[in-house]
Amino acid sequence: MDLLNTLVDKGLRRELPTREEALAVLATSDDDLLDVVAAAGKVRRQWFGRRVKLNYLVNLKSGLCPEDCSYCSQRLGSTAEILKYTWLKPDEASQAAAAGVAGGAKRVCLVASGRGPTDRDVDRVSKTIETIKERNEGVEVCACLGLLSDGQAERLREAGADAYNHNLNTSEGTYGGITTTHTYADRVDTVRKAHAAGLSACSGLIAGMGESDEDLVDVVFALRELDPDSVPVNFLIPFEGTPLAKEWNLTPQRALRILAMVRFVCPDVEVRLAGGREVHLRTLQPLALHLVNSIFLGDYLTSEGQAGKADLEMIADAGFEVEGADTATLPAHRADAASGGCGSHGGGGCAPCGDSAGETGETGEQAAGTSAARPDLVAVRRRGAGTGLAPNA
């Protein structure tokens, strides 16, 4: 297929595809799916070999968020029966992080619900970062605390944070239909603050909220322009008790096409398969490893993920290997261009923002191919951080 040959050539040269080419990837048929995966896989292997980076989420503060993000189980007005608790103490967070590191995670992602941190919150998280780094040699730490005020990114970096995550989630044109308590521009501003402070910027999207192909391409091209080191791709988890509970718009095949499009647009960036992979990719998860070079190990913020042992077996069975702590994640040209000491530039990445995973709109053509609702696959997290039960790692 001429389209795929062109996209592979551009990906190997780090050249941006056209919008028309990106849209064409999303419009390919299921008959061509394996060809699409194989083509994007060539680009993935050029920059990342067969390595898979493992990341581990620690939910520092769960639920009771004043923001109204429609996809989020922690949102204002959510009736989802998730865990709700206030800030974990540094020792508690460090213990949770240690479980992920023991399971093979290279990066720990510290997430807290809320609009953004107060200065006191930054002090609290700084102590947690210091405790985790003291007890887990070589671990990378990413913070995800919402919208940042001036100077807060610098303070987090001084405390030892390697990266900061804040996802764009959806296109600028559709953002107001998903969230009204802050703006798309607010999110862009926070990503830029993190980048300017020397933190590894991490920003991604949520697919499956009903967005059009054009919306998906818009947000991925906007991410390419922001130039984060890592791009997490979340798929909406339709929690009962949230406005998007009935949005079951994704098939495993469409999810793979979305990941392939992201890889072609962001060829040398850490593309992370994030929330919702188990719900929407299901038995096709191993194929996604040919497109992404990073995943989350175990559970997510408010939902349960695949067993950590199963993640490791999947990686090995698919012919990939877990990336070691002493291996740089990013290609040398990105590491050389990065501004100082950030862990991502020697192996970076990040978490999905303080939101639970979600999505935005669909065309009539997509609607014809939507998958049947599978609420049985949405399991609320009842173990790990904030509970007395052992974490899944």
> What is the set of active-site residues?
65, 69, 72, 109, 142, 202, 272
Is 202 labelled a binding residue? yes
Ligand-binding annotation for 374, yes or no, is: no
**How far apart are alpha carbons 114 and 65 in whole angstroms?**
5
Q: How many helices (H) and strands (E) does the chain have?
A: 15, 10
What is the C-alpha separation between 316 and 296, in angstroms, rounded? 16
Burial of 13 (0-12, 13-18, 19+ CB in 10 A): exposed
DSSP code for 218: H
Whole-angstrom distance, CA of residue 90 vs CA of residue 354 = 18
**DSSP structural state of residue 371:** P
Residue 72 assigned to a binding site: yes
CA distances from 371 to 104, 249, 376 (A): 33, 6, 14
Kindly compute the dihedral angle of the four CA atoms of residues 110, 194, 169, 348, in this order, to the nearest 10 degrees.
-60
Q: Computed over its alpha carbons, how large is the radius of gyration of the chain?
A: 19
Please check if 109 is assigned to a binding site: yes
Q: Which residues are annotated as a binding site for [4Fe-4S] cluster?
A: 65, 69, 72
Q: Which residues are annotated as a binding site for [2Fe-2S] cluster?
A: 109, 142, 202, 272
Q: Which residues are annotated as a binding site?
A: 65, 69, 72, 109, 142, 202, 272
